[in-house]
Chains A and B, each alone.
Chain A
Amino acid sequence: MMMIFGVPLAVFMGQLMLGLINGAFYALLSLGLAVIFGLLKIVNFAHGAMYMLGAFATLLGMRYLGINYWAALLLAPLVVGLFGMVIERLMLRRIGHLDHLYGLLLTFGLALIFEGTLVNFFGVSGARYPTPEALQGGFQTGFMFLPVYRAWVLLAALVVCLGTWFIIERTRLGAYLRAGTENPALMQSFGVNVPLLITLTYGFGVALAAFAGVLAAPLYPVSPTMGSNLLIVVFAVVVIGGMGSILGAILTGLGMGLIEGLTKVYYPEAANTVIFLVMILVLMLRPAGLFGKEA
């Protein structure tokens, strides 16, 4: 059997595959963060909580309203996205003109509130969400047993990521968005409703997080704290990619998934830490991240 650094090739390939799937999650989450940061200049610390709310909306929708997985895939991001827009209108808007620090602190507070409240109602053990029937089982690829659901997660996440990239980089709406990022006052004078654009953008970024939450629901126990550990990892991804860079967030997400996957084979104890090491190295060499523009 061919070995790569002491690991059989098949295992090695399998690990790369899993890394890529995790990377797709990171990409989806960091993409939302990057979109929000790009236009609102807000470091959305509530992103992990929004991801969690997406998963909860899926779970509760099934439990109390009989909404199935496929409908939840659409509805949960919509509901959470609307919720995000309300938050933007009521709170974030009022601090838009202030230092970034305040947005970070406000959203951090919101995350504490959401998580703490749900803990009191649902505990922390988490609940299980069944894998939809069409996606159960798995295929035996040449190098590993790949559950169908994981393959679906990879596919769905990539499609949504690329779709978002396309909208932002290639459509008129995206052009407004990018222009709004550069110079909101000018856009306003051209008759574009910038405040509305901002609200929609926040809603959209949050909806992406919620979408990741729906994808995660059958994979991990749905619990109020599921987003909080993921959050700082996703931050690191966004920073490494370059804050506000759409393509940077997607590519870095996938890349970090791979690096983390390899760490899990060669030095598993450090799997949660390696990403921060990469972040330091990148920021030292490229101050604005891999794909960011220097201010």
Chain B
Amino acid sequence: MPLDTSAYSLALLRVDGRRWNELRRIHAQIRTQAAADGSSYLEMGHTKVMCVVNGPSEPGPRRGATSGGGGGGGQSKNAEVAVNIVIAGFSSVDRKRRGRGDKHILELQSTISQALAASLHTHLFPHSTINISLHVLSQDGSLLAALINAATLACVDAGIPMTDYVAACTAGSTSTYAANDEGADPLLDMNHQEEQELPGLTVATLGDSDRVAVLVCESRVQVSRLEGMLAVGVDGCKQVREILDRVVREKGIKMIQEGTVERGVGLNDMELD
């Protein structure tokens, strides 16, 4: 179904009623699962993902047994970040099953793995593996961004030392490449419909800084528009970081109140209401 972009210029409202710089509702939870070292659940609009982190741990004997290779992964000085993405068959509107060898999934996996390996202190855990398994339950655009955010939260929950949050979000442009519209406005946080039609990119930044950790642009777009999109994207990442930070802090406060964890010494300035 083609997306009607002509209406945007009239009311400056997108198909789902947002303004150009508005994020969709982000809802996140951490420590959703008792068995894992770290876990999280994240919704960005209708995109819903779940993340389970196990590790850092010794590379499992099972992996060696099934692949027959063994050994290899655990020999490095840094911990290996192994990402496994399962896209559920029921996640999209039309059921589509992707196998494990799907190229698209492999690319997502390696992107996330590299982004996290750079921000986690993997050098503290030589000869070990951090297993991140991501489950996509529902897709409505910004999949990579949601996966990165969920993985970040789960890593925080797992207590793996990291430099800062890796917060991600998408940015697009209001008109298609073919329209060649120089004055097109940038858009923040694209949904599935917009992703189908409009040029877009996924950007992830490291914490509060403007340092970009991931930048993926898989569509054709004029260079002149790119800068605006990137600026909006980076700005969105900061908003996302705030939301993630709030989720972590709220959970932390709750855990202190419930007595699950000791109140740390450095937390005096934190208000526990």
Q: Do A and B bind each other?
A: no
